[in-house]
Amino acid sequence: MGKRIIIIGATSGIGRKVAEVYITQGWKVGVAGRRAEELEALRKQAPDQVFTQVIDVTQPDSPEHLQALIKQVGGMDVFLLSSGIGKQNHDLEPEAELKTAATNVEGFIRMVTTAYHFFVRQGYGHLAAISSIAGTKGLGAAAAYSATKRFQNTYLDAMDQLARMNKLNITFTDIRPGFVATPLLKDDRYPLLMDVTDVAEEIVQAIEKKKRIAIIDWKYRILVFFWRMIPHWLWVRLPVKN
């Protein structure tokens, strides 16, 4: 594995903790997000290793900013997309749903296709993205979030198949955490919240092992196993609430 990683969505939560792990391991780390002050705080931890770029994945010019960050780092061996939003929306308020889709679908496509094309030109690479176990089933309390995460799961499957069809040396990792204690979930209540530092360590291990799908952690691997066995007629009748 190479020693240059780009992490999109590194200003807080999982992305930031993962960046800190790679910094500790001595990697060159390109970090991106919307908040310049948080990126600068990361850079100050290791000025010779960390490179920053303000990127808003919902904006049409985000691919150009990603390319600029790759140039700063001097290339890219691993790409990790950690940016994503979502919230419980029992009333299906349209603006909240559309905002989630703008980041988790449009922004996702912008970032992973830019990384994919870079790896095609380079001849190799490892493309990883943090989706969620929420993509396993449609959660009534968070319709857009669970639907967009299922979209990400399927898109990564399709990219993997496309790369194999074209005999490309690109590895894909779909990282599916359970509920993690991060600012993303601060306004909602979820069971089995995981510590973000522990989750970051597991994510780094999954990328190192080049896992195709990594459900974080063991409790959620068991949960997802049983979720998949629930028939649709029963699932829609379950009182899944916050």
Q: What are 76-125's pLDDT values in tens digits?
A: 999 999 999 888 898 999 999 999 999 999 999 999 999 999 999 999 99
Which residues form the domain of 210?
Answer: 4-235
**Is residue 196 assigned to a domain?**
yes
Distance of CA 114 to the CA centre of its chain: 15
Residue 1 has pLDDT above 70, yes or no: no
* Predicted local confidence at residue 233, as pLDDT: 83
Q: CB-based contacts of 77: which residues, under 8 Å, 6+ apart?
A: 1, 2, 3, 4, 5, 124, 125, 126
Average pLDDT for 59-74: 98
**Is residue 126 assigned to a domain?**
yes
* Predicted local confidence at residue 236, as pLDDT: 84
- CATH code for the domain of 125: 3.40.50.720
Distance (Å, whole) CA 98 – CA 66: 24
* Predicted local confidence at residue 240, as pLDDT: 62
CB 1 within 8 A of CB 126: yes
Q: What domain count does the chain have?
A: 1
* Predicted local confidence at residue 181, as pLDDT: 66
* Predicted local confidence at residue 179, as pLDDT: 77
**Is residue 160 assigned to a domain?**
yes
**Is residue 130 assigned to a domain?**
yes
Residue 50's φ and ψ, nearest 5 degrees, are -105, 135
Q: Which helix (H) or strand (E) holds 120?
A: helix 108-122
Distance of CA 122 to the CA centre of its chain: 22
Average pLDDT for 18-22: 97
**Is residue 111 assigned to a domain?**
yes
3-class DSSP assignment, residue 44: helix
Task: Give 241 or 138, the one with higher predicted confidence.
Answer: 138
**Is residue 241 assigned to a domain?**
no
- pLDDT one-digit tens code per residue, 176-198: 998 776 655 555 555 667 888 99
**Is residue 198 assigned to a domain?**
yes
Token pair for 205: 């291990």
